[in-house]
Structure 1
Amino acid sequence: MTETPTIFGLPAERGRWGLIALGLLINLCLGSIYSWSVFVAPLAAHFTAALGREVTAGEVLLPFSVFLAFFAIAMPLAGKYIERYGPRKVTVAGGLLTGLGWLLASTATSVEALYVVYGVIGGLGVGIAYGAPVAVAARWFPDRRGLAVGLTLLGFGVSAFVTANAAGALIAAYGVMTTFAIFGVVLAAVLVIAALPLRFPPAGWHPAGWSAPAPGTGTAPACECDRRAMLRTGTFYGLFACYFVGCLAGLTAISIAKPVGTEVAGVDAGLATLLVGFFAIFNGAGRPAFGGLADRISPQKTAMLTFGLIAAASVLIWLAPGVPAYVVSFAVLWGCLGGWLAIAPAATASYFGTCDYPRCYGVVFLAYGAGAIAGPQLAGFVRTATGTYLGVFPLVAVLAAVGFAVAWLLMRPPASVPASTPVPVAAGEE
């Protein structure tokens, strides 16, 4: 007989929402990387004074890129440890590394030192911790997987709206290096405390009154296969390609939001900064919105919808550059990026099951890292070659059309499933 668990003293069907709230809080802390733009000017001024030479904003942006790269690298590597040791221990380890990265950044005597203490250590910490609350949400909510994952990741999307304001106030009051130290201590403490209740459901558990639909439909997994079996399906490559295009479009929009506003749309610099916070709301809201939609109409159809929206937004700003088109287009692009960060994990569980979910989604998440590198580089290349960012948008529209075609052809439950070996869940943290 299947065990009837309780969470926070409540029946699991009710208490599991508390785990979603904790996952949202964890991601709010992990997403503090998106507040990096607030640190750029103060850090450039600090190192210019300390080193006796001009340190440019471009130099200070590099730790951000290093951070994202190690974040993406750590995700697939951490997957097997989530299964082996459970989500609680892995989140604690990642949380401590994240806090340590911020804390050590306060001692950096050069920008190069930030590459290691902030970019490498902090990036690894976020990559280690990021997948655990997502896996918890996916397993406790087989009936509402897309919505649960989207709500969990909502914190990461809106983090800049919270942490950027906090960072700005702390920098003004205490200076940039002290702010790093404060962030490090607070983030480590909150992440460790929030991680303690995390656990997986017992084997075979499902919500009362819910039964799994037929395999490959609705929220039921098309198969239960491990990472090796997943890599032998065309579905994986379709999902990976679509995730890459969705992230490339969204991360390009994030990286050039303010300069496009000031240079192309003619928005005042102060208003452009405020609009970045406005766009961040759409980034966060896109996760539960598109995640819930993936539950209702399937990940494939939701993916095709996002590509249609990305193409339309790109064409709009390209053909009618101005304030209204800028606001609408970038809200859509940021929202679709948030959507993809819910669609992809939900699709991974829907197509390949949850027996080896952290390792499977870790590989899929590499598409995010590739998009994080390619998107801003594409924008920079176009800006250098043409003198304007406008040429970025027809390229993004073409890529969205390709993504639509790939989603239609490949992003569907695998027709045949190679044999797989289920991975046992960590003892004591089911």
Structure 2
Amino acid sequence: MKTNYNRWLILAATIIVNICIGAQYAWSVFALPLAKHFGWSGTTLALAFTITFATGPIVMICGGLLQDRKGAKFNIVLGGILWSLGMFFTGFVSSPEALYLTFSVIAGVGAGIVYSGNVANTNKFFPDKRGLAVGLAAAGYGSGAMIFAPLASSLIISYGVLTTFKILGVSFLIIIMLCSLIIKGAPAGYKPDGWVPPVTAAKPGGNDKNWKQMVQDPLWYVMACMFAIAALAGLMILAHASPIGQTMFKLEPQVAAFYVSIIALFNMAGRVGFGFISDKVGRSNTVALMFGISACALFLLTNTTSSVMFGFAAGLVGACFGGAQAVFPSFVAENYGTKNIGVNYGVTFVAFGIAAYFGPMIAANVAKASNGIYTQAFYIAMILNIIGVALTLIYKFLEKRGKSTTTNVAR
């Protein structure tokens, strides 16, 4: 199909937009200043992060419907406005309820609408390099914290936490609207010039299933459980990275913010690296590798007092979390097609929402019961990652059996 689309330019604009909404992951930098300003507890503030991501499945499904019907540009404009306004109005809050409404709901819904459109559009534009391209787009989302954590920390010191939200909200609106002028939706059945789909890319029984057909597949439930586990440890670390650094490793706030940026850098690298690896060795093999690395990193995190090792271990967990954001959209696309990828990935994102609820809250409650020590939470996440390795083996067994059954029926 010959087109005038410059898909790499569109991808570059997509990455910039995702960097803006990825500022969600810098939440831990805002948490302690808000606690000091208002006297709110750690669990009260952790709930803001939890609500943001726990509502993700509903937002992703709605955003997927919008993307499938209206196109990626519509998602970016609508979601970008909501995200920016939510951040701006967070600068006026005076109660936890107001914080939940502005940051967790308005901004969170906006970010989800933007991200669902960007993920689906990138999948459609890059059928030949799906893991790499989605990984790059996801890397933009993950790098938001790396870029905005130190910036926000400096702004907070200079202007206060509430004014910082206002400044960021206005800045995000300008950047996202400019990028929306470049981004276009992929046409139906888009194929890059010279690319021929491999025969093995076709799923037995046909691609392009809708969400109702998808949830009738037992393989989807195994994949969803894998997604939940892959996300839980990362969300646990990302939601509490700055407090963990300050309470367990005695870091100063700005140093802790620097470590948040390091973790975000690993997160970004994991999205690109594991996305690329998954194109080469397969999605399930890559997920198994991520589970193994994350389990080892969590074990290291529970057995070190070194701030450097904290940054390294937490970074590895962040990298594996980032890899999941790159691999699972491609997982869904390869199993159930790209025609309904917006909604299908939104439904699969329910698994992420479950992790978003339990991950940060488990860590917050463990810290509250242990005087700021998160060790038991790390052990829980480590055990779940070991279970995740077993799930990848079950997935491969069921996938192989399904292909054998289809081949026998065809004969």
Is residue 401 from structure 1 mapped to residue 386 from structure 2 by the alignment? yes
Distance 1:397 1:66, change over 3 A: closer
Q: Which residue of 2 aligns with 1:374?
A: 358
Q: Which has the higher helix share?
A: 2
Number of aligned residue pairs: give it.
Answer: 400
Q: Deviations over 1:228-253 (max 9, x none)?
A: 11111122111110010010111122
Q: RMSD of the alignment, in Å?
A: 2.6
1:277 shift after superposition: 1.5
1:45 and 1:384 map into 2 onto residues whose CA distance is 17
1:44 and 1:193 map into 2 onto residues whose CA distance is 34
Given that residues 150 and 254 in structure 2 are in contact (C-alpha distance below 8 angstroms), is that contact kept between their aligned partners in structure 1?
Answer: no
Q: Which residue of 2 aligns with 1:25?
A: 16
Gaps of 5+ in 2: 404-411
Gaps of 5+ in 1: 8-14, 49-53, 417-430
Is residue 43 from structure 1 mapped to residue 34 from structure 2 by the alignment? yes
1:205 shift after superposition: 3.0
1:348 shift after superposition: 0.8
Given that residues 139 and 271 in structure 2 are in contact (C-alpha distance below 8 angstroms), is that contact kept between their aligned partners in structure 1?
Answer: yes
1:360 and 1:175 map into 2 onto residues whose CA distance is 41
Q: Which residue of 1 aligns with 2:80?
A: 95
Q: Which residue of 1 aligns with 2:170?
A: 185
| Aligned residue identity for 1:178 | T
The 5 A counterparts of 1:232-247 are 232-247=216-231
2:361 and 2:8 map into 1 onto residues whose CA distance is 39
Q: Which residue of 2 aligns with 1:5?
A: 3
Q: Which residue of 1 aligns with 2:406?
A: none
Given that residues 280 and 334 in structure 1 are in contact (C-alpha distance below 8 angstroms), is that contact kept between their aligned partners in structure 2?
Answer: yes
Q: Which residue of 1 aligns with 2:197?
A: 212
Q: Which residue of 1 aligns with 2:338?
A: 354
Q: Deviations over 1:323-365 (max 9, x none)?
A: 4543332121010000001011111111111010000000111
1:118 shift after superposition: 2.5
Say which is worse superposed, 233-242 or 98-107, in terms of deviation: 98-107
Match of 2:113 among 113, 125, 128: 128
1:363 and 1:42 map into 2 onto residues whose CA distance is 35
Given that residues 220 and 350 in structure 1 are in contact (C-alpha distance below 8 angstroms), is that contact kept between their aligned partners in structure 2?
Answer: no
| Aligned residue identity for 2:18 | N
TM-score, with structure 2 as normaliser: 0.89
1:92 shift after superposition: 0.7
Identity %: 32
The 5 A counterparts of 1:22-421 are 22-46=13-37, 48=38, 54-56=39-41, 58-216=43-201, 223-264=207-248, 271-320=255-304, 322-323=306-307, 325-385=309-369, 388-410=373-395, 415=402
Given that residues 216 and 351 in structure 1 are in contact (C-alpha distance below 8 angstroms), is that contact kept between their aligned partners in structure 2?
Answer: no
1:268 and 1:173 map into 2 onto residues whose CA distance is 17
1:60 shift after superposition: 4.1
Q: Which residue of 1 aligns with 2:408?
A: none
SS of 1:391's equivalent in the other structure is helix
Distance 1:102 1:315, change over 3 A: closer
Distance 1:377 1:405, change over 3 A: same
TM-score, with structure 1 as normaliser: 0.85
SS of 1:6's equivalent in the other structure is coil
